[in-house]
Amino acid sequence: MRTFILAGAAMLTLTANPALAERWMHVGGNDTAQTYVDADSIAVGPGPRYARWLSVYAQPQQRNVGGGVILGEVHCSENYFRTLQYSFYDPTGRHTDTEGSETINERKVPSAGSINESVLEFICRGTGGSPVANAWQDARRRFTAGS
């Protein structure tokens, strides 16, 4: 019961707007998306870790989505994560919508060498991230420079 209460409290504190994040860390990207973990959002407890990560897209996706923040539950020892919630942002970084994950019960195992593997490496071991002052501006710079 105590673990459930701690997990619930961690999830509530992580659902804030990404503009409130204090430490975005660039963990990977390519010519279509750049991905950042909010280092200050990583909640470490007796069970899984909870964290938020942001992907900024080079081109707007359906519904004019320029980026999205995932609230995830990360199981470091078993090397998988679950997506709990998605928050959507327009290409300027303005929040447009938040919804629960339709795949909340799926255990997602990252492929070797993938951006998701880099996300888990940073959340679980603190390796691989580079600090950025503003994730949206950093992503635009990387897209312009060719990643």
Other C-beta atoms lying within 10 Å of the C-beta of residue 120: 27
C-alpha–C-alpha distance, residues 94 and 113, integer Å? 30
The position carrying tokens 């929040």 is: 95
How high is the pLDDT of residue 9?
43
Give the CATH number, domain containing residue 111. 2.40.128.710
Range of the domain at 38: 2-16+23-145
- The three state secondary structure string of 27-81 is EEECCCEEEEEEHHHCECCCCCEEEEEEEEEEEEEHHHEEEEEEEEEEECCCCEE
Inform me whether the pLDDT recorded for 145 exceeds 60. yes
How high is the pLDDT of residue 95?
96
Q: What are the structure tokens assigned to 36, written together?
A: 């950042």
For the segment 123-127, the average pLDDT, to the nearest whole number, is 96
Give me the number of domains the chain comprises.
1
Inform me whether the pLDDT recorded for 147 exceeds 90. no
The position carrying tokens 């204090």 is: 22
- Helix/strand/coil for 86: strand
How high is the pLDDT of residue 97?
97
When comparing pLDDT for 146 and 99, which is higher?
99
Inform me whether the pLDDT recorded for 6 exceeds 60. no
Q: pLDDT of 74-120, one tens digit each?
A: 999 999 999 999 999 999 999 999 999 999 999 999 999 999 999 99
